[in-house]
Structure 1
């Protein structure tokens, strides 16, 4: 290990674990969103909605309910619920997609909060140790005390660096997730509007 890491004290180890966890989650989420972008099929979604407006569901029913695009899955599974109300089915699918997209974000959020606090804790412990040295040696060797305080500040810097390492991907992935949620909400609204306009589903209770 580098000398500065050893000088930081025991708090550096959980910070190292945090940085490793952040790197793993960032790479996994990056791969996830790149794959989601490739799986998106906006043309097929638009075609399905046009068919619903025309009251045609045969071609949609032939599509795979496990289609890679969550928007297409929402439409197919909603059609399979007809003539029953598909709203609850669509809502459940949206909740599942939200959980899938948000995976790993709680860890990043935790690191953003805890890493600086651990860094400050390490600094406080280092300063306490420096004052103990001062108490034992008096003012005969103030340089050792100053050096000890400087070393203690390493953990604060390390904690802030780890937090920044988590903050950037957290904000990026949350922004991408918000965009995808808006897309799914739009598809769900357009789907319900299409099946009502075409008469495939009548929300009014039958007497």
Structure 2
């Protein structure tokens, strides 16, 4: 459908529009459509922030923190589920991940909540740029048509030009009015979004502080490193090491080796005592060699 056919279809509706709307030209329909879309978004966002302001979120957040202080994870989770709000949803994500570190999960949840609260902001921002362009385009279009008409006839009175200039200012004036109606709610929603971003950041830091203070999160210090595990294993008695599931005692008087085997190990029972004695002698000789080398270094 061409633009001329579309405007012809709108002629019956245009007759019921105000005179100034008809004089504004076809660009007025685009401005009207843009104003309707932006008004719907503004009303939806106003309703969202109004409902959010009525929620008693801070009391539930305090209940959740009190339950975490008592190390009652289930009660804290139930408190978060009592109300659906950005802060409680973020806390619920962090509690579900305990005792693992919830730092990354909560940061991601915070970004999702901020994205949901900023819904419609991009559209309003785009409308703020498009509206004055449409108004200026409508004014230039009317002036171009007027000058084209004046070029085919002799102008004897300047009063003939003034109505055309006034007609060209109609879409420009409407675009400025629509821009102001968009700008004020957009700045209001932006300030509320910044405030809620700081609020979520504060709650996230409080949650992390409580978890660290009451040892609800396993830190890297609590989990032994592989090097510490090796040192701890070496410091164990021979009978407790997994690598040697037996212990033996060598008697200097009789020269006998007494071997005690763990109950968990059955295969070691098949090892002859002579082989174990030989292994013990090798270890004893190795120790003497190291002691001799150390003495030479000191000398």
Under TM normalisation by the shorter chain, which class is it?
Answer: over 0.9
Q: Deviations over 1:117-172 (max 9, x none)?
A: 11111111111112112211122354332211110011110110111111111111
8 A contact 2:60–2:80 mirrored in 1? no
Out of 95-104 and 43-52, give the one that drifted further: 43-52
* Aligned twin of 1:173: 189
TM-score (norm 1): 0.92
Give the gaps of 5 or more residues in structure 1.
none
Count the aligned residue pairs: 207
Structure 1 residue 50 displacement after superposition: 3.1
Question: Partners of 1:152 and 1:66 in 2: how far apart?
Answer: 57
Distance 2:82 2:135 in 1: 46
Whose relative contact order is higher, 1 or 2, with alpha carbons under 8 Å and at least 6 apart? 1
Aligned Cα root-mean-square deviation (Å): 1.7
1:155-170 correspondence runs (5 A): 155-170=171-186
Q: Shift in Å at residue 64 of structure 1?
A: 5.2
Render the CA deviation track for 1:23-61: whole Å, top value 9, x for unaligned: 111111111111112234201212322332343323113
1:65 CA displacement: 4.0
Give the Cα–Cα distance (whole angstroms) in 1 for the partners of residues 54 and 67 of structure 2: 24
- 2:124 pairs, out of 108, 122, 125, with 108
**Whole-angstrom CA distance in 2 between matches of 1:149 and 1:156:** 11
* Cα separation, 2, equivalents of 1:84 and 1:178: 29
The residue matched to 2:100 in structure 1 has which SS? Answer: coil
Counterpart-to-counterpart distance in 1, 2:52 and 2:91:
17
Q: 1:129 and 2:150 equivalent?
A: no
Q: Who wins on radius of gyration, i.e. which is larger?
A: 2
Tell me which protein shows more helix as a share of its residues: 1
* CA deviation profile, 1:166-200 (whole Å, cap 9, x unmatched): 11111111111111111111001110111011111
Give me the whole-angstrom Cα distance separating, in 1, the residues matched to 2:22 and 2:107. 51
Cα deviation digits, residues 73-132 of structure 1 (max 9, x gap):
222321110111111221221122111111111111111111111111111111111211
Q: Contact 1:65/1:77 (CA < 8 Å) preserved in 2?
A: no
Counting only pairs closer than 5 Å after superposition, residues 1-207 of structure 1 correspond to structure 2 as 1-63=17-79, 65=81, 67-204=83-220, 206=223, 207=225
Structure 2 alignment gaps of length 5 or more:
1-16, 226-299
> Are the structure 2 counterparts of residues 40 and 94 from structure 1 closer, same or farther at C-alpha, using a change threshold of 3 Å?
farther
| Residues 25 and 138 in structure 2, CA contact (< 8 A), matched pair in contact too | yes
**Partner Cα distance (2:186, 2:166) in 1:** 31
Give runs of ≥4 in structure 1 deviating > 4 Å.
Answer: none
